[in-house]
Chains A and B, each alone.
Chain A
Amino acid sequence: MITFTCNLQEGVIPDELRPTLTAELARISASVLDIPAADVDVGYYFVRHGFGFRGGEVSTTSTVSGQLSEPLDQLTRVELLTQICDMWCAKTGCAVDEVIVSARDPQ
Protein backbone atom coordinates (compact mmCIF):
# COMPACT_ATOMS: atom_id res chain seq x y z
CA MET A 1 0.00 0.00 0.00
CA ILE A 2 1.21 3.48 -0.81
CA THR A 3 -0.57 6.78 -0.25
CA PHE A 4 0.44 9.80 -2.30
CA THR A 5 -0.23 13.39 -1.34
CA CYS A 6 0.40 15.74 -4.25
CA ASN A 7 0.98 19.40 -3.41
CA LEU A 8 0.32 21.52 -6.48
CA GLN A 9 0.95 25.24 -6.83
CA GLU A 10 -2.23 27.00 -7.95
CA GLY A 11 -2.35 27.47 -11.72
CA VAL A 12 0.70 25.35 -12.52
CA ILE A 13 -0.89 21.97 -13.31
CA PRO A 14 -4.15 22.01 -15.30
CA ASP A 15 -7.05 20.46 -13.38
CA GLU A 16 -7.93 18.16 -16.28
CA LEU A 17 -4.57 16.39 -15.92
CA ARG A 18 -5.36 15.08 -12.46
CA PRO A 19 -7.14 11.86 -13.54
CA THR A 20 -4.20 11.05 -15.81
CA LEU A 21 -1.67 11.71 -13.06
CA THR A 22 -3.68 9.60 -10.62
CA ALA A 23 -3.90 6.72 -13.08
CA GLU A 24 -0.19 6.93 -13.87
CA LEU A 25 0.82 6.99 -10.20
CA ALA A 26 -1.31 3.87 -9.66
CA ARG A 27 0.08 2.15 -12.76
CA ILE A 28 3.73 2.84 -11.91
CA SER A 29 3.36 1.95 -8.23
CA ALA A 30 1.52 -1.28 -9.00
CA SER A 31 4.20 -2.27 -11.48
CA VAL A 32 7.28 -1.38 -9.43
CA LEU A 33 5.96 -2.44 -6.03
CA ASP A 34 4.06 -5.47 -7.36
CA ILE A 35 0.85 -4.47 -5.62
CA PRO A 36 -2.74 -4.10 -6.88
CA ALA A 37 -3.49 -0.67 -8.33
CA ALA A 38 -6.34 -0.48 -5.82
CA ASP A 39 -3.70 -0.31 -3.08
CA VAL A 40 -2.52 3.06 -4.36
CA ASP A 41 -4.25 6.12 -2.93
CA VAL A 42 -3.73 9.57 -4.42
CA GLY A 43 -4.86 12.88 -2.93
CA TYR A 44 -4.29 16.47 -4.03
CA TYR A 45 -3.68 19.62 -2.07
CA PHE A 46 -3.43 23.06 -3.64
CA VAL A 47 -1.08 25.82 -2.55
CA ARG A 48 -2.62 29.22 -3.31
CA HIS A 49 -0.64 31.51 -5.58
CA GLY A 50 1.70 33.61 -3.48
CA PHE A 51 1.65 31.19 -0.58
CA GLY A 52 4.37 28.80 -1.77
CA PHE A 53 8.02 29.83 -2.17
CA ARG A 54 11.18 28.16 -3.34
CA GLY A 55 14.53 29.83 -2.75
CA GLY A 56 12.58 32.89 -1.60
CA GLU A 57 10.67 33.28 -4.87
CA VAL A 58 7.12 32.23 -5.75
CA SER A 59 7.23 28.50 -6.36
CA THR A 60 6.11 26.48 -9.37
CA THR A 61 7.27 23.21 -7.80
CA SER A 62 4.96 20.25 -7.20
CA THR A 63 5.61 17.69 -4.50
CA VAL A 64 4.48 14.09 -4.78
CA SER A 65 4.86 12.60 -1.31
CA GLY A 66 4.39 8.87 -0.99
CA GLN A 67 3.91 7.11 2.34
CA LEU A 68 4.55 3.37 2.24
CA SER A 69 2.86 0.89 4.54
CA GLU A 70 5.91 -1.39 4.50
CA PRO A 71 9.66 -0.67 4.26
CA LEU A 72 11.13 -0.66 0.76
CA ASP A 73 14.64 -1.54 -0.42
CA GLN A 74 16.52 1.41 -1.85
CA LEU A 75 16.97 0.02 -5.37
CA THR A 76 13.22 -0.42 -5.77
CA ARG A 77 12.61 3.00 -4.24
CA VAL A 78 14.94 4.67 -6.73
CA GLU A 79 13.19 2.89 -9.61
CA LEU A 80 9.80 4.02 -8.30
CA LEU A 81 10.88 7.64 -7.82
CA THR A 82 12.63 7.78 -11.20
CA GLN A 83 9.60 6.48 -13.08
CA ILE A 84 7.27 8.87 -11.27
CA CYS A 85 9.58 11.84 -11.87
CA ASP A 86 9.87 11.01 -15.58
CA MET A 87 6.12 10.50 -15.91
CA TRP A 88 5.32 13.74 -14.10
CA CYS A 89 7.60 15.80 -16.33
CA ALA A 90 6.26 14.12 -19.49
CA LYS A 91 2.59 14.58 -18.60
CA THR A 92 2.73 18.07 -17.11
CA GLY A 93 5.52 19.59 -19.19
CA CYS A 94 7.29 20.80 -16.06
CA ALA A 95 11.08 20.82 -15.74
CA VAL A 96 12.79 18.10 -13.74
CA ASP A 97 13.60 20.57 -10.96
CA GLU A 98 9.92 21.49 -10.64
CA VAL A 99 8.91 18.19 -9.06
CA ILE A 100 9.95 16.58 -5.79
CA VAL A 101 9.04 12.94 -5.33
CA SER A 102 9.37 10.91 -2.16
CA ALA A 103 8.49 7.42 -0.95
CA ARG A 104 8.87 7.19 2.79
CA ASP A 105 9.03 4.04 4.83
CA PRO A 106 6.61 3.72 7.75
CA GLN A 107 7.98 5.17 10.99
Chain B
Amino acid sequence: MPYYKCIVPEGSVEFDKRQEVAKAFTDIHCGSTGAPRTFVHVEFIEYPAGGDTGYDADTPFYMDGRNRAGRPEEVKQKLLTDLIAAFVSITGISPEDIAGRISEGKASHTMEGGHILPEPGEEGPEWYEHAAAD
Protein backbone atom coordinates (compact mmCIF):
# COMPACT_ATOMS: atom_id res chain seq x y z
CA MET B 1 0.00 0.00 0.00
CA PRO B 2 -0.79 2.54 -1.26
CA TYR B 3 -2.30 1.00 -4.38
CA TYR B 4 -3.89 3.23 -7.01
CA LYS B 5 -5.90 1.70 -9.85
CA CYS B 6 -6.72 3.84 -12.88
CA ILE B 7 -9.58 2.43 -14.95
CA VAL B 8 -9.43 3.84 -18.46
CA PRO B 9 -10.93 3.22 -21.92
CA GLU B 10 -8.82 0.89 -24.06
CA GLY B 11 -6.02 2.69 -25.88
CA SER B 12 -6.76 6.05 -24.26
CA VAL B 13 -3.52 6.46 -22.27
CA GLU B 14 -0.22 5.54 -23.91
CA PHE B 15 2.75 4.10 -22.01
CA ASP B 16 4.62 7.40 -21.63
CA LYS B 17 1.56 9.06 -20.11
CA ARG B 18 0.88 6.06 -17.88
CA GLN B 19 4.39 6.27 -16.49
CA GLU B 20 4.11 10.04 -16.10
CA VAL B 21 0.90 9.57 -14.13
CA ALA B 22 2.54 6.87 -12.02
CA LYS B 23 5.46 9.16 -11.21
CA ALA B 24 3.15 12.06 -10.41
CA PHE B 25 1.01 9.87 -8.13
CA THR B 26 4.19 8.73 -6.37
CA ASP B 27 5.37 12.32 -5.91
CA ILE B 28 1.98 13.43 -4.60
CA HIS B 29 1.49 10.50 -2.25
CA CYS B 30 4.98 10.68 -0.79
CA GLY B 31 4.84 14.46 -0.51
CA SER B 32 1.59 14.23 1.38
CA THR B 33 2.29 11.26 3.63
CA GLY B 34 6.08 10.81 3.84
CA ALA B 35 5.79 7.20 2.64
CA PRO B 36 8.78 5.65 0.83
CA ARG B 37 8.49 5.96 -2.95
CA THR B 38 8.86 2.24 -3.54
CA PHE B 39 5.68 1.57 -1.57
CA VAL B 40 3.52 3.43 -4.09
CA HIS B 41 1.86 1.17 -6.64
CA VAL B 42 -0.11 2.36 -9.65
CA GLU B 43 -1.96 0.07 -12.03
CA PHE B 44 -3.85 0.88 -15.21
CA ILE B 45 -6.80 -1.26 -16.19
CA GLU B 46 -8.34 -0.82 -19.62
CA TYR B 47 -11.93 -1.63 -20.53
CA PRO B 48 -13.04 -2.24 -24.13
CA ALA B 49 -15.05 0.10 -26.32
CA GLY B 50 -18.69 0.14 -25.30
CA GLY B 51 -17.86 -0.83 -21.73
CA ASP B 52 -17.58 1.22 -18.58
CA THR B 53 -15.35 1.51 -15.53
CA GLY B 54 -17.51 -0.81 -13.46
CA TYR B 55 -17.74 1.78 -10.70
CA ASP B 56 -20.74 3.76 -9.54
CA ALA B 57 -19.81 6.87 -11.53
CA ASP B 58 -20.91 8.10 -14.93
CA THR B 59 -17.40 8.97 -16.10
CA PRO B 60 -15.13 7.20 -18.61
CA PHE B 61 -12.15 7.35 -16.25
CA TYR B 62 -11.99 6.29 -12.59
CA MET B 63 -9.22 6.36 -9.97
CA ASP B 64 -9.62 3.81 -7.17
CA GLY B 65 -7.04 4.15 -4.41
CA ARG B 66 -6.42 2.05 -1.32
CA ASN B 67 -4.34 3.48 1.51
CA ARG B 68 -3.42 2.66 5.07
CA ALA B 69 -6.19 3.70 7.45
CA GLY B 70 -5.70 6.39 10.05
CA ARG B 71 -4.96 9.64 8.26
CA PRO B 72 -6.98 12.82 8.90
CA GLU B 73 -9.92 13.39 6.58
CA GLU B 74 -8.44 16.62 5.19
CA VAL B 75 -5.23 14.80 4.21
CA LYS B 76 -7.22 12.10 2.43
CA GLN B 77 -9.40 14.64 0.62
CA LYS B 78 -6.43 16.73 -0.53
CA LEU B 79 -4.68 13.59 -1.71
CA LEU B 80 -7.65 12.57 -3.84
CA THR B 81 -8.02 16.08 -5.27
CA ASP B 82 -4.32 16.33 -6.14
CA LEU B 83 -4.18 12.86 -7.71
CA ILE B 84 -7.15 13.53 -9.95
CA ALA B 85 -5.79 16.96 -10.90
CA ALA B 86 -2.49 15.35 -11.91
CA PHE B 87 -4.25 12.70 -13.98
CA VAL B 88 -6.27 15.39 -15.78
CA SER B 89 -3.21 17.55 -16.39
CA ILE B 90 -1.07 14.73 -17.78
CA THR B 91 -3.66 12.98 -19.93
CA GLY B 92 -5.48 16.09 -21.11
CA ILE B 93 -8.93 14.72 -20.33
CA SER B 94 -11.71 16.95 -19.04
CA PRO B 95 -12.03 17.12 -15.24
CA GLU B 96 -15.67 16.08 -15.72
CA ASP B 97 -14.52 12.79 -17.24
CA ILE B 98 -12.94 11.33 -14.12
CA ALA B 99 -14.16 10.38 -10.67
CA GLY B 100 -12.38 8.61 -7.86
CA ARG B 101 -12.22 7.46 -4.30
CA ILE B 102 -9.69 6.41 -1.70
CA SER B 103 -10.65 3.52 0.54
CA GLU B 104 -8.62 2.37 3.52
CA GLY B 105 -7.39 -0.84 5.04
CA LYS B 106 -5.61 -1.71 8.25
CA ALA B 107 -1.86 -1.56 7.75
CA SER B 108 -1.37 -4.49 10.12
CA HIS B 109 -3.18 -6.79 7.68
CA THR B 110 -0.43 -6.39 5.07
CA MET B 111 3.20 -7.56 4.82
CA GLU B 112 5.43 -5.71 2.41
CA GLY B 113 9.18 -6.21 2.04
CA GLY B 114 8.92 -8.96 4.64
CA HIS B 115 7.56 -6.60 7.31
CA ILE B 116 4.09 -5.87 8.63
CA LEU B 117 3.21 -2.34 7.54
CA PRO B 118 3.17 0.25 10.34
CA GLU B 119 0.07 2.34 10.97
CA PRO B 120 0.37 5.96 9.76
CA GLY B 121 2.39 7.94 12.31
CA GLU B 122 3.95 4.80 13.82
CA GLU B 123 6.72 4.33 11.23
CA GLY B 124 10.09 3.53 12.78
CA PRO B 125 13.56 4.24 11.37
CA GLU B 126 13.57 0.90 9.51
CA TRP B 127 10.66 2.15 7.39
CA TYR B 128 12.88 4.86 5.94
CA GLU B 129 15.99 2.64 5.83
CA HIS B 130 14.06 0.20 3.66
CA ALA B 131 13.21 3.00 1.27
CA ALA B 132 16.81 4.20 1.17
CA ALA B 133 17.98 0.66 0.36
CA ASP B 134 15.81 0.70 -2.75
Listed in ascending order, the chain A residues whose CB lies under 8 Å from chain B are 7, 47, 50-59, 61, 63, 74, 77-78, 81-82, 85, 96-97, 100-105
Scan B90-124; emit 1 where CB is below 8 A from any A CB, else 0: 00000000000000011011111110100000000
Name A54's closest neighbour in chain B (CB-CB). Answer: B41
With known contacts A52-B43, A56-B23, A56-B26, A97–B134 Cβ distance under 8 A: yes
Is A97's CB under 8 angstroms from B113's CB? yes
Query: What is the number of residues of chain B that contact chain A, defined by CB distance less than 8 Å?
Result: 32
CA distance A52 to B23 in the complex (A): 12
Task: Name the segment of B14-22, B55-63, B70-78, B81-89 touching the other chain.
Answer: B14-22
Is A81's CB under 8 angstroms from B111's CB? yes
Q: At the interface, is chain B mostly helix, strand, loop or mixed? A: mixed
Q: Does B32 contact A (CB under 8 A)?
A: no
Q: Which residues of B contact A100 (CB under 8 A)?
A: 1, 41, 110-112
With known contacts A53-B19, A55-B134, A56-B22, A82–B111 Cβ distance under 8 A: yes
Name B16's closest neighbour in chain A (CB-CB). Answer: A50
Is B40's CB under 8 angstroms from A55's CB? yes
Q: List 18 A-B contacts (CB under 8 A).
A: A7-B43, A50-B15, A51-B44, A52-B41, A53-B41, A53-B43, A54-B41, A55-B39, A55-B134, A56-B19, A56-B23, A63-B3, A97-B112, A97-B113, A97-B114, A101-B110, A102-B105, A104-B106
Most A Cβ at <10 Å: residue of B3, B39, B110: B110
Name B114's closest neighbour in chain A (CB-CB). Answer: A96
Is A81's CB under 8 angstroms from B40's CB? no
Q: Which residues of A contact B43 (CB under 8 A)?
A: 7, 47, 51-53
Q: Which residues of A contact B80 (CB under 8 A)?
A: none
Q: Chain B's nearest CB lies how many Å from the CB of A42?
A: 17
Name B14's closest neighbour in chain A (CB-CB). Answer: A50
Q: Chain B's nearest CB lies how many Å from the CB of A78?
A: 6
CA distance A53 to B37 in the complex (A): 11
